[in-house]
Structure 1
Amino acid sequence: MNRSLALVLAIGAGLTTASAIAQAPAAAAPAAPAAAVAPPPQAIPAKIALIAFEQGVFATNEGQKTVQDIQKKYEPRKTQIDALSSEVDSLKKQLQGAPATLSDEERATRLKTIDTKEKQLTRDAEDAQNAYNADLQDAYGKLAQKFSATVKNYVSQNGFTILLDVSNQQTSNVMWINPSTNIDVTQAVVSAYNASSGVAAPPPSAPSAARPRPATTTPRPAATAPKQ
């Protein structure tokens, strides 16, 4: 075999080997580890607390005492208004029982007097009521701030996850709650507040003195559920 033929055979053998290597399957790359699957979220059982916030504020010893103090403040004005109201009623009865011989001029004078006193009575009653409501609103706002702190501490310490205020059914979004799945904590919070405030229970108020309620426009701090 001459050198040229040997060289051709050697080159051919090298090409055949290279072709075989090129056609051989590549080694599989190591598989990447599977991504960890996040566990599904777990539902946390809710422990629901209900509270009549506004009623609770006035049910405390401090709330009852505050209301009684405000009522005493306005007793003199109430007495004056009651006296004026009685006077108007008396003048009306006198006019109704007046003899038929009463002159038109005298009747007109009496009617004017009654009208003047009725307008005065209306003004005095409205002014007194507005002033009374303003004092009550102011007192409620101050008490509500302190009462709210007690509410938050109570629900947090007792493991509640949700707190719903059912003070006013007209503005509340709560339509119905199964009574077996919630706890009314109003009285418990009132007792806790009384214990921390140190204010003794006031003597019972007069039977005719109804406990007032603040208007719904009163800003009230929200007693939110505690962080878990």
Structure 2
Amino acid sequence: MTHPKLPVLLIVLLLIPSSLLGQVFSKVGVVDFERAVVESTEGKKSSVKFNAKLEERQKEVEKRQKELEEAQNKLRTQERVLSDAAKADLQRDIDRRQTELTRVNEDAQKELGALRDELLRPVTDLASRILKAYASDQGYTIIIDVSNPGNNVIWANPAGDITTELIRRIDAEIAKLPPRGK
């Protein structure tokens, strides 16, 4: 014969762990970390510098692309009148220009990636420190970065989005720092 209070006691014991789990994960925040970095005052300044370099490199690539296209057009339009030796020279010139264009593109990508990292690293590091302090101070148990499409966040309530607050705090911290050399 079982005790009449035993089933009630078992139910209460089963409910306790789930209520404790609810308390452990009670405050979840979301942040668009990339947006916080690039929309901060310092992030915007870095973007201006980056975009200036990007335009410079794009002009160089476009110039080389145009030179390559001109050489290709010359070969197409003059193919019938050029000697075999002249055609071979022009084809070598086209091949050389194509190789140079590929290298310039690759170099530009590497340079721009390194420049972006260099410009945004200080802001990213500061944003990370501020976010950790903010999450701790506000009692968050987890912060999810929604700027990374690989994190499988399907939906997040905008009420839990702390991105704007993070931007405000980044700007406030940067304002306290001494001006950097330009």
Alpha carbon RMSD of aligned pairs, Å?
Answer: 2.6
Residue number in structure 2 paired with 1:205? none
Give secondary structure in 1 for the equivalent of 2:143. strand
Give unpaired runs (5+ residues) of structure 1.
Answer: 1-39, 200-228
Distance in 2 (CA, whole Å) between partners of 1:94 and 1:109 is 12
Using a 3 Å threshold, how does the CA distance of structure 1 residues 178 and 132 change in structure 2: closer, same or farther? closer
Q: TM-score, normalised by structure 1?
A: 0.59
Amino acid at match of 1:185: I
* C-alpha contact (below 8 Å) 1:46/1:162 kept by paired residues: no
Which structure 1 residue ranges, 4+ long, deviate > 6 Å from structure 2?
A: none
SS at match of 1:198: helix
RCO higher in structure (CA 8 A, sep ≥6): 2
What percent of counterpart residues are identical? Answer: 26
112, 116, 132: which one pairs with 2:96? 116
| Counterpart check, 1:48 vs 2:25 | no
**Larger relative helix fraction:** 2
Q: 1:178 to 1:150 in 2, by over 3 A?
A: closer
The DSSP-based 3-state class of the residue aligned with 2:160 is strand
**In 1, Cα distance between the equivalents of 2:122 and 2:174?**
14
2:51 to 49, 57, 71: 71
Instruction: Note if 1:153 corresponds to 2:130.
Output: no
Q: Which of these residues, 179, 187, 209, is aligned with residue 157 of structure 2?
A: 179
1:92 aligns with 2:68: no
Comparing 182-191 with 154-163, greater Cα deviation is found at 154-163
Q: Aligned partner of 1:166: which letter?
A: V
Change (3 A) 1:80 1:177: closer
Q: Assess, with a 3 A threshold, how the Cα gap between structure 1 residues 119 and 178 changes in structure 2: closer, same or farther.
A: closer
Verify the 8 A CA contact 2:38 2:44 in the aligned structure 1.
Answer: yes
Aligned length: 157
- Matched residues in 2 for 1:163 and 1:148: separation? 11
Paired residues of 2:30 and 2:156 also in contact (CA < 8 A): no
- Assess if the C-alpha contact under 8 Å between 1:48 and 1:160 holds in 2: yes
Q: In structure 2, do the counterparts of structure 1 residues 176 and 116 end up closer, same or farther at CA, with 3 Å as the change threshold?
A: closer
Judge conservation of contact 1:47–1:162 (CA < 8 Å) in 2. yes
Name the TM-score, length of structure 2 as normaliser: 0.73
**Aligned-residue offset at 1:179:** 2.9
Amino acid at match of 1:189: L
Any conservation in 2 of the 1:53–1:166 contact (CA below 8 Å)? Answer: yes
Higher Cα Rg: structure 1 or 2? 1
SS at match of 2:124: helix
Give the secondary structure class of the aligned counterpart of 1:50.
strand
2:109 counterpart of 1:132: no
Q: Given the superposition, is the C-alpha separation of residues 194 and 90 from structure 1 closer, same or farther in structure 2, using an over 3 Å criterion?
A: same
1:50-108 Cα distance to aligned partner (Å, 9 max, x none): 01212321221211211221333455444333211111111111222226232222211
* One-letter amino acid matched to 2:63: A
Shift of 1:155: 2.8
Change (3 A) 1:77 1:169: closer
